[in-house]
């Protein structure tokens, strides 16, 4: 299929270029109508700016409202394009899917999910290298040194509390530091997304290790004491937010943007961001073997515009990697909170060892 389509493409592009060669280059830009991507791109090389057209398939881990708004806005910015969305709010599933599909890739774009899900795909040779001109102003920590993915949003780890129960049972004080959670008044009232089952739970442990300057013994001592206060470890991060919102438990470390979203529906919860917290960088990448590379690149360029960044901030409560875009109302920013020196590579490389160590520490099988 790859061969077939490439040949088809080339022939079409070839004929188009032949036809265009006779006419003026300006006409070429108008002539390249919908569906003739390759031709339009070829023409663009000679003409001034012609936007790529056609269809792209986007594998997205974003939420539904953001997906829909992005598709609509992109189609306005790039007339004559269509976007096929494959939404799955589970970036690990999308990563696995792209891996399993490598014999005949079906996606052009992989958007959303922490960069940890994009990075291994790049290393496995399953991504197309692309450094967008719009990424030039981003800080180095927000983009892949090898150029396979670009970070375009940030998520900060915070803390959700059920306000009513917090006031009645824990004295009403939200934690200012992670160490505050060791107070005996929290005993049996805390939950944590299971570090073994969720990315968020693991980021929480890694954050503690970085907070103690990679002194694993201190971090584990913290986790052991904290374990005494934790009633349950929950299998999914959204599930843990739901449980606190219902008042099943009083508090839980979790993603700040998701806590804000929950707060929009249930005003009875509070958000805090304890000092020295961790964060994720949400990525976008182009899948190797993309059927419409010019449009895929255009999509990446567009997602990195301030307009798209602001739209995502509004719809998901996450932050943007573009410094000039203000945060959502009530949302923490990377500037407003104190962050640990989060060593992403170290966290990935040591994951199995750390989780085993943690399980031994808290006596879990």
Q: Which residues bind another protein (CB under 8 A)?
A: 1-4, 57, 63-65, 84-90, 92-93, 95-97, 99-101, 103-104, 106, 116-117, 120, 194, 196-199, 201-202, 231-236, 238-239, 241-243, 245-249, 258, 261-262, 265-266, 268, 351-352, 355-356, 359, 364-365
Burial of 250 (0-12, 13-18, 19+ CB in 10 A): buried
Q: How is residue 143 annotated by DSSP?
A: B
Complex with another protein: residue 215 or 349, whichever CB lies closer: 349
Complex with another protein: residue 25 or 232, whichever CB lies closer: 232
CB of 253 to another protein, least distance (A): 15
CB of 355 to another protein, least distance (A): 7
Complex with another protein: residue 3 or 171, whichever CB lies closer: 3
CB of 319 to another protein, least distance (A): 18
CB of 214 to another protein, least distance (A): 20
DSSP string spanning 254-314? EEHHHHHHHHHH-TTEEEE--SSB-EEEEEEEEETT-TTHHHHHHHHHHHTSHHHHHHHHH
CB of 46 to another protein, least distance (A): 32
Complex with another protein: residue 326 or 330, whichever CB lies closer: 330
Measured between alpha carbons, how far is 110 from 147 in angstroms, rounded to an integer? 14
CB of 364 to another protein, least distance (A): 6
C-beta separation of 249 from 184 below 8 A: no
Phi, psi of 229 (to 5 degrees): -95, -10
Q: Which of 58, 124, 70, 129 minimizes the C-alpha distance to 96?
A: 124
Complex with another protein: residue 157 or 202, whichever CB lies closer: 202
Burial of 79 (0-12, 13-18, 19+ CB in 10 A): exposed
Complex with another protein: residue 336 or 359, whichever CB lies closer: 359
Measured between alpha carbons, how far is 160 from 270 in angstroms, rounded to an integer? 6
């Amino acid at each position: 299929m790859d061969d077939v389509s490439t040949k088809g493409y080339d022939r079409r592009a070839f004929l188009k270029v032949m036809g265009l060669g006779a006419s003026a280059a300006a006409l070429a830009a108008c002539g390249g109508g919908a569906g003739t991507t390759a031709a339009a791109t070829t023409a663009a090389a000679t003409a001034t700016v012609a936007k790529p057209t056609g269809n792209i398939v986007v594998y997205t881990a974003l939420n539904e409202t953001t997906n829909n708004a992005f598709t609509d806005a992109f189609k306005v910015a790039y007339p004559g394009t269509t976007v096929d969305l494959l939404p799955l709010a589970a970036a690990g599933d999308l990563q696995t899917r792209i891996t399993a599909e490598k014999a005949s890739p079906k996606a052009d774009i992989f958007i959303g999910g922490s960069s940890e899900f994009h990075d291994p795909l790049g290393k496995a040779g399953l991504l197309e290298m692309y450094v967008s001109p719009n990424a030039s102003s981003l800080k180095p920590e927000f983009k892949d040194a090898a150029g396979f993915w670009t970070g375009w949003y940030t998520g900060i780890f915070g803390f959700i509390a059920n306000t009513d129960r917090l006031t009645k049972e824990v004295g009403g004080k939200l934690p200012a530091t992670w160490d505050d959670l060791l107070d005996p008044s929290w005993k049996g009232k805390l939950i944590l997304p299971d570090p073994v089952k969720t990315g968020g739970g693991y980021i929480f442990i890694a954050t503690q290790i970085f907070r103690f300057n990679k002194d694993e013994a201190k971090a584990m001592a913290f986790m052991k004491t904290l374990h005494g206060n934790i009633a349950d470890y929950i299998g999914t991060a959204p599930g843990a937010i739901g449980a606190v919102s219902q008042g099943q438990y009083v508090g839980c470390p979790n993603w700040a943007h998701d806590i804000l979203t929950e707060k929009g529906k249930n005003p009875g919860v509070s958000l805090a961001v304890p000092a020295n917290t961790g964060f994720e960088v949400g990525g976008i990448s182009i899948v190797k073997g993309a059927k419409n590379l010019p449009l895929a690149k255009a999509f990446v360029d567009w997602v990195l515009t301030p307009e798209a960044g602001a739209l995502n901030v509004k719809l998901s409560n996450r932050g943007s990697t573009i410094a000039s875009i203000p945060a959502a109302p009530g949302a923490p920013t990377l500037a407003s909170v104190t962050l640990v020196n989060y060593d992403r590579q170290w966290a990935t490389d040591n994951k199995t060892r750390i989780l085993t160590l943690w399980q031994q520490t808290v006596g879990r099988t």
